[in-house]
Chains A and B, each alone.
Chain A
Amino acid sequence: MRMKQDIPEQTLEDIRQALYDIDRQRLEQDLPPEERDTLELSAVALRDLERLLIAQKQKQLVQQQEALTEEITELARIIRARVTRMNQVPKAVEAVEKVLREVVVILKACGKW
C-alpha cells in the first residue's frame, strides 16, 4: 500500500462509486491517450484507497476476535495439563511392568545357566 497517510472519512461504497465513474470516463472510445493515462492513474490511486480501507476493517475484526478468545484458550491449556496428569499413573505402572518383564528374562537366563 502506498497511501499510508490519514484516510478521509470515506466508505467502501463511496470509493466504489468514484471508481465506477472514473472507469466509465477512462473507457470511453475516443479519449485522448494523455487524458486516459491520467484517469487510469487516478483509478489506481482509488484502488489503493479501497485496499487500505479493507485492510483496516479486517484488522479491526481480527483484533476483536483475539481479545475474545483468550480465556477459552487458557481453559483448553488447563484441561490438557489435567489430561497429562491423568496419564502419569499408567505411564509409571507401565515402567514398572517393563522392569518386571526384564527381570523375568534375567531369571530365565539364570535358569538356563
Chain B
Amino acid sequence: MKITRKLTVFLLLVTCYGCAVLTESQVKLVNGLAVAGDSVAAAPSVLFKELAAVRTERGLLYAASLTGAQARYQEINALAQAVADDEKLGPKTDVYVTALNSYLRALRSISHPDRWKQHGTRMRAMGRNLDSLLLTFNSLDWLEEDIPMGIAKLSGKYVGYLSESYMKTRQAQAVKEFVTVGDTLVAQCVDALVILLKKEAVNELIINEQEGLQHNYLAYLQRVENSGQLPPLENDRVYLQLKGNLAAATKVRDRCVTGLQSLKRAHNKLLKELETRQTATHSNQELIELNTIALEVQTLLNLLKVETP
C-alpha cells in the first residue's frame, strides 16, 4: 500500500508539474465563440436568401403588370426558373457559416470537460466493478483465504484522478495547438468575409432589389389603375413587408460585419489567454461584446423568420 501511495504521489507530481489546464474562463470563451458564431457568420446566407425571396415576390407583381399572354407566360416561366436556380445556390451561400461553425463547434467539443471527465468516470467505475467481482468471487469460497477487498476501488479512484489530470493537460495542449493554427485562419476568413460583405457587387444586389421592388410595384399599381380597379390592400401589406425584410437583411449584413470583427478579436483573446496561462476566472469584454451583437443579429433573423444553418 505504501509503495502504491508513493508511486501515486510521484505520478501526480509528474503529471501536474508545470502543466496548464483549461480554465473556466477559457472554456466559457470557447463556448461563447461557438454559440455567437452561429449568428454572426450567417450574413451571406441570410442576405442571399432574402434577396431571392424579394426578387420572386416583386417578379410576381411585375408579371401581374403585363397584359399580353405571351409576355406574361414568358415572365412567369423565367421567374420559376430563377426560383429553382436560387434554391440551388442557397446551400452554397452557407459555406462560410458552415466552415466557421464547424471549426468553432469542433473546438468546443475538444475543450469540453467531458473529454477528461469521462476518463476518470470510466476508471472509477472499473475499480468499483472489479471490487464487486472480488466480492462475488470471495462469496463463492473457492479459495481458503479471501482476496483483500477495496484495493481495486481505491486504485480505480487513483487511476481515475491521474488519468483526468493527464487528459486535462493533453486537452489544454490540443486546444492551444488548434487555436494557434485556427487564429490565423479565423482572422483570414473573417477579413475575407467582411471584404466580401462590403463588396460593391453586394451593394449593387441590395440596391437592385430595393429599387426593383419599388419599380415593379409601381408598374403593378399603374396596371391596376389602367384597368379602373383599386389594388387590394393585401398587396400593399406584402409590399411593406418586403421593404421591411430588405431593410432587416441589410442591417443583418452590417451587424454581422461588426460581429465578425468581434469574433476575430475574441478568438485572438482566447489564444493570448492560452499562451499566458491565465488561471483566474474573469469576465471577457470581447465575449460580452460578441454576445451582444450575436443577440442583435438573432433578433433580426427572427424578424426575417430565417433559420441559421
Contact with A along B64-76 (1 / 0, CB 8 A): 0111101110110
**Residues of the B chain whose Cβ atoms lie less than 8 Å from the Cβ of A7:** none
CB contact between B208 and one of A41, A54, A60, A62 (< 8 Å): that residue:
A54
If over half of A's interface residues share one DSSP class (helix, strand or loop), that class is named, otherwise mixed; here it is: helix
Q: Decide: A76 near B99, CB < 8 A? Known: A44-B78, A68-B192.
A: yes
B205 pairs with A96, CB closer than 8 A = no
Chain B hits for A86, CB < 8 A? 110, 115, 167, 170-171, 174
Interface string of B57-98 (1 = CB under 8 A from A): 001001001111011101100100110010001001101101
Q: Which of B93, B140, B193 contacts A111 (CB 8 A)?
A: B140
**Chain B: which residue is nearest A64 at the CB level?**
B196
Cβ contact of B226, chosen from A13, A27, A51, A96, cutoff 8 A? A27
Q: For window 15-46 of chain A, which residues contact chain B by CB distance below 8 Å?
A: 16, 19-20, 23, 27, 29, 36-37, 40-41, 43-44
- B239 on the interface (CB 8 Å rule)? no
Residue contacts A-B, CB under 8 angstroms, 11 given: A27-B223, A37-B70, A44-B78, A54-B205, A58-B48, A65-B44, A68-B192, A76-B99, A79-B103, A82-B178, A111-B136
- Report Cα–Cα, A107/B138, bound state, in Å: 10
| Number of A-B residue pairs having CB atoms within 8 Å of each other in the complex | 192
Q: Is A66 an interface residue (CB 8 A)?
A: yes
Give the CA-CA distance A71 to B188 in the complex, in Å: 10
Distance between B119 CB and nearest chain A CB, rounded to angstroms? 6
Q: With A1-B78, A23-B222, A107-B136 given, can you name 17 additional A-B contacts, CB distance below 8 Å? A: A40-B67, A44-B74, A50-B212, A54-B208, A61-B202, A65-B95, A69-B95, A69-B100, A72-B99, A72-B100, A76-B105, A80-B106, A93-B126, A100-B129, A104-B136, A110-B140, A111-B136
User: Cα distance A72–B263 when bound, in Å?
Assistant: 15
Q: Is B144 an interface residue (CB 8 A)?
A: no
Question: What chain A residues lie within 8 Å of B181 (beta carbons)?
Answer: 75
The smallest beta-carbon distance between A92 and chain B, in angstroms, is 9
CA distance A104 to B65 in the complex (A): 82
Cross-interface CB contact of A97 among B67, B82, B122, B204, cutoff 8 Å: B122
* A65 and B78 contacting across the interface, CB-CB below 8 Å: no
Interface centre among B81, B182, B212, B215 (most CB of A within 10 A): B212
Is B125 an interface residue, CB under 8 A from the partner? yes
Our pick among A40, A47, A48 for the contact of B68 (Cβ within 8 Å) is A40
Neighbouring B residues of A78 by C-beta, 8 Å: 178
B188-216 contacts to A (CB < 8 Å): 188-189, 192-193, 196, 199, 201-202, 204-205, 207-208, 211-212, 215
B166 to chain A, nearest CB (A): 10
Known contacts A83-B109, A111-B140; decide if A40 and B185 are in contact (CB<8 Å). Answer: no
Contact of A104 among B132, B186, B188 (CB under 8 A): B132
CB-based contact B226/A72 at 8 Å: no
A73 within 8 A of B: yes
* Cβ-neighbour of A54 out of B55, B81, B105 (below 8 A): B55
Is A94 touching B67 in the complex (CB atoms < 8 A)? no
| B106 & A62 in contact (Cβ 8 Å cutoff) | no
